[in-house]
Structure 1
């Protein structure tokens, strides 16, 4: 399938997204290609696409805040169990109304599993804690926690297709996978041996430094250093984490006597977690160069190049 041109939907949009895309193209058909109005159109489309990419995480955050503000303490159903049920309902609705693709579901499940495994370990060593209420849990970890990692995965795969992401000078996947695996192991091992996060951070900077991400908005395709994109998303997650801890979803030790801002050092942890997230997504959506066709046509093109 050839790459989508300006105004055309990128590959693998859901049915609803294609309908929205057609409506948007009709609305924007008369928009100028240059000038201040053109810039405003591109900015508006970018914000709307980002908002749509965040739909899973945003709904989950709304539920967390609503539970903090209005959930009755007298109800027999524990708040953590209610949050788990709400997260499951959100996931089911996204699938029933075909707001997620099959590929997204696989990535979300992978994020859920890897995130829950980390949660079990981190709560056991006291890195953070959840309230003890509820029965929908594994050990000290309520099941809704895995959905918070799944929300990150959902955003990653949605952004990939909504902006038809391309990458120039993307490193070899075996190398990025090795670094991501070491980062994941370090999240556990630094409790027992030397913490290698700064070494791993340096490795990430060296390996991804040349990589540029190309993303289509409406008519315009822009590019940005991939490391800067990682940092921006990590900062956004850190802000969301502050909201979630304020809502009582979980607490760090320094918040036990009253809510305080999450340590800025957590930004590094989220930045490294972004590497794990991106690498997992690249095994579902292999990174493509600018101008490279997607789908079957892209696969055939890659086969021809390897055979030359």
Structure 2
């Protein structure tokens, strides 16, 4: 019975950590089925995303430092979106005033919502990173992952080689968390995969709601290829590496919850 209670508490904290992503998806649903007068749908989503971000900062659900991290992810995501749309990987078919090279500015918030979740979960679950690889390893691998999202269009796709290396590098790493003063831990790779899987589920909902479309979804919606889980898995690792090390620099090795092997 106590296990059920703890699992429920964990689920509640996870749900609270998803405030920003859930708000974004609610906005996607609302704008899909309800016509918003005098403003395009994509611009309406952008306005709501900015408003949500301001409210979270105003009510101290996020700090200024966390906002900086989220803005960084917004920029990284927007750059990636512009490139992917240019390469024809997916598209944003609806009109928008706030659109850059075919990409609406709200799209960066989809990546920022991942960073928001990590920052919220860090606080609510008191995350700790155990046997974490050295910065000399994590920084280059994060850079390689991000670059491969671009370069695989022109050269060999290193995705599966990178994933194999990640299983080796993070094989002993664990993510510790606390629920109602009880400590638990999970293999880091498993947690990355789980988050990537749930983002993939969210992506299916987002494409169904018309947030963006893959070429095969233009005439009729169909499920996003399961192989995309690997992309989200890699993106989650980049996100956690950046957030973990920014906190490491700000608070120092004794307070950052980051433990190198």
Query: Shorter-chain TM-score: which interval?
Result: over 0.9
Kindly indicate whether residue 11 of structure 2 is the aligned counterpart of residue 55 of structure 1.
Answer: no
CA shift digits 1:180-231 (9 cap, x unpaired): 1001000000101111111111111110111011110113111110000000
Number of the residue aligned with 1:195: 157
2:92 counterpart residue number: 130
* CA pair 198-95 structure 1, distance change in 2 beyond 3 A: same
Q: Which residue of 2 aligns with 1:150?
A: 112
Q: What's the offset of the Cα at 1:132?
A: 3.8
Structure-2 residue corresponding to 1:219? 181
TM-score (normalizing by structure 1): 0.80
Tell me, yes or no, if structure 1 residue 176 matches structure 2 residue 132.
no
TM-aligned CA deviation for residue 297 of structure 1: 9.5
Question: Residue 187 and residue 295 in structure 1: after superposition, are their counterparts in 2 closer, same or farther (change >3 A)?
Answer: closer
Q: Equivalent residue for 2:254?
A: 298
Cα distance, 1:298 vs. partner?
A: 2.6
Which residue number corresponds to residue 69 of structure 1? 33
1:93 counterpart residue number: 55
**Which one scores higher on RCO, CA 8 angstroms, separation ≥ 6?**
1
User: Which structure has the larger Rg?
Assistant: 1
Task: Identify the residue that residue 273 of structure 1 maps to in structure 2.
Answer: 235
Residue 167 of structure 1: CA displacement?
A: 2.1
Structure 2 unaligned runs (5+)? none
Alpha-carbon spacing, 1:262–1:297, altered in 2? closer, same or farther (3 Å): closer
Contact kept, 8 Å, 1:42 with 1:219, in 2: the verdict is no
Alpha-carbon deviation of 1:269? 0.6
Q: Tell me how far apart the structure 1 counterparts of residues 213 and 171 of structure 2 sit (CA, whole Å).
A: 34
Distance in 1 (alpha carbons) for counterparts of 2:253 and 2:153: 47
Output the aligned Cα RMSD: 1.8
The count of corresponding residues between Structure 1 and Structure 2 is 256
**Runs of at least 4 residues off by over 2 Å:** 38-41, 294-299
Tell me, yes or no, if the aligned pair for 1:163 and 1:216 is still in contact at 8 Å. yes
Runs (5+) with no aligned partner, structure 1? 1-35, 288-293, 303-308
